[in-house]
Amino acid sequence: MHHSLTGTGTHLADPRPHVVIVGGGFAGLAAARTLADAPVRITLLDRTNHHLFQPLLYQVATAVLNPADISVPIRWLLRKQQNATVVMADVDRIDPADKTVSLDGGSVLLSFDFLLLAAGARHAYFGHPEWEQFAPGLKNIEDALEMRRRFLLSFEAAERASAVGERDALLTFVIVGGGPTGVELAGMIPEVTHHALKGEFRRIDPSKARVLLLEGGPRILPAFPEELSAQAQRDLEALGVEVRTNCVVTTVDADGVVAGGERIDAHTVFWGAGNQASPLAKQLGVPLDRAGRVSLNADLSVPGYEYIFCAGDVASTTTDDGKPVPAVAPAANQMGELVGRNIAHTVAGSSRETFRYFNKGDLATIGRHKAVAVIGGAKLRGLFAWLTWLFVHILYLVGMRNRLTVVVQWAYQYLTFQRGVRLITGTTVHRLLKASKAANDKRRAA
């Protein structure tokens, strides 16, 4: 069944191959753009209406930026590309042999000639999915709003708490995972507690809040050179963050965590550890790695299906020297572009290219004006690394307006120490405390 969704109604007579792209993140968008002049028709499917600049999501979670500052409507980005149709839909089944995807509970079936699965990843909870309710991760706008809500509400609840222990737990923030997300989150919190909230509370002192960054491995930022890991740890400690390495989390519940054998009472736990690829990968029926990702051919096609590709966080590939390609935006971009080119090559009857990851560098920011970076082999730190970080992020932010408002908000924040987006929506202190109590009671009963 060729559903009319896919074109103008005349597409049954349209001889162009149909490319279906699942996911409008960095990989999916790059593939669609690469195919702009190819004789194909493209349908890009996404559950949301926006492309998200994920690298700045932690700034939404910590009340620096608005959600819309880092999200752009996908159909706005592709408005001038006449061979592309953007459809907001949930994909729930892929039939690789039949060459169809089914949308929205099977109500729509879509045939494809080429498929790119670029549906991204969620967090991995080390086989403990029940931890997610206590320790949300940071992958999409909803996640960031949930984090912001918990983060800001904890101060409101602490101001009202009557027991000292409860107050301390409400003012303890635990971040699990010492990768870039964990480091950047941890580095932002002291800015808020020491400056933005200063003088606003009558019963608590927000600057007394504890921030702990827990990393299971021997050092934070394991993808960086050792000396930069050490520098980042010193920078974080200078901000008052307690960094614990070789510290494995064994329990997460409504009271906090057990880490390295010690219980830490904390009302707010954020998760920045490990990825689990989209469950859609399973539907391809090919072997997956431990993180649920698809191991691909050199041309990024799926073994056994030369017309199906994967890219981004759902793909498992290696660099020239055999290391895994990291789950970062530039890698997703490069994969998406290669998939676009390989589809165009196939349509044109020419041979496909092999994926080669080009590492543009690694960057992680720490607080107000520090960062660590490796760019072209050069190791940067301190203010210069931070300025590099700033430049790169503004440069890559998609959409002129977003670039402008982000710069305005950063400038405001930098000059005034204020947070511009301290908005709590969707819940109340009462519901927060009640939910936390209910979760606790349930756990204790179990």
* Catalytic option among 184, 191, 215, 337: 184
Cβ(54)–Cβ(391) below 8 Å = no
Q: Please give the DSSP secondary-structure letter assigned to residue 356.
A: -
Residues paired with residue 378 on neighbouring β-strands, in sequence order: 375
CB of 197 to a second copy, least distance (A): 8
Q: Which two tokens stand for residue 295?
A: 């191991």
Q: Is the CB of 65 or the CB of 310 nearer to a second copy?
A: 65
Buried b (16+ CB within 10 A) or exposed e, 182-211: bbbbbbbbbbbbbbbbeeeeeebebeebbb
Return phi, psi of residue 196, to 5°: -60, -35
Cβ(379)–Cβ(228) below 8 Å = yes
Distance of alpha carbon 319 from alpha carbon 324, whole angstroms: 6
Q: Is the CB of 208 or the CB of 234 nearer to a second copy?
A: 208
Select the residue interacting with a second copy from 142, 205, 226, 289 (CB under 8 A).
142
Residues paired with residue 244 on neighbouring β-strands, in sequence order: 214
Select the residue interacting with a second copy from 16, 17, 33, 66 (CB under 8 A).
66
Q: Which two tokens stand for residue 251?
A: 């329990």
Find the binding residues for a second copy in span 402-421 (CB under 8 A).
402, 404-405, 408-409, 412, 416, 418, 420-421
Select the residue interacting with a second copy from 4, 133, 246, 350 (CB under 8 A).
4
CB of 88 to a second copy, least distance (A): 4
**207 touching a second copy, by CB under 8 A:** no
CB of 201 to a second copy, least distance (A): 7
Find the binding residues for a second copy in span 71-130 (CB under 8 A).
71, 73, 75-76, 79-80, 85-90, 103-105, 107-108
CB of 23 to a second copy, least distance (A): 14
Taking each helix axis from N to C end, the angle separating 26-34 and 329-348, rounded to the nearest 10 degrees, works out to: 30
Q: 423: part of which helix (H) or strand (E)?
A: none
CB of 24 to a second copy, least distance (A): 13
Answer yes or no: 159 catalytic: no
3-state percent helix, strand, coil for the chain, nearest multiple of 5: 40, 25, 40
CB of 56 to a second copy, least distance (A): 14
Q: Is the CB of 86 or the CB of 259 nearer to a second copy?
A: 86
Helices (H), 161-280: 164-170, 180-191, 226-238
Distance of alpha carbon 309 from alpha carbon 311, whole angstroms: 7
Binding site for a second copy (CB under 8 A): 4-5, 7-9, 47-50, 66-69, 71, 73, 75-76, 79-80, 85-90, 103-105, 107-108, 141-142, 145, 152-153, 156, 159-160, 162, 198-203, 401-402, 404-405, 408-409, 412, 416, 418, 420-426, 428-430, 433
Show which residues are catalytic.
184
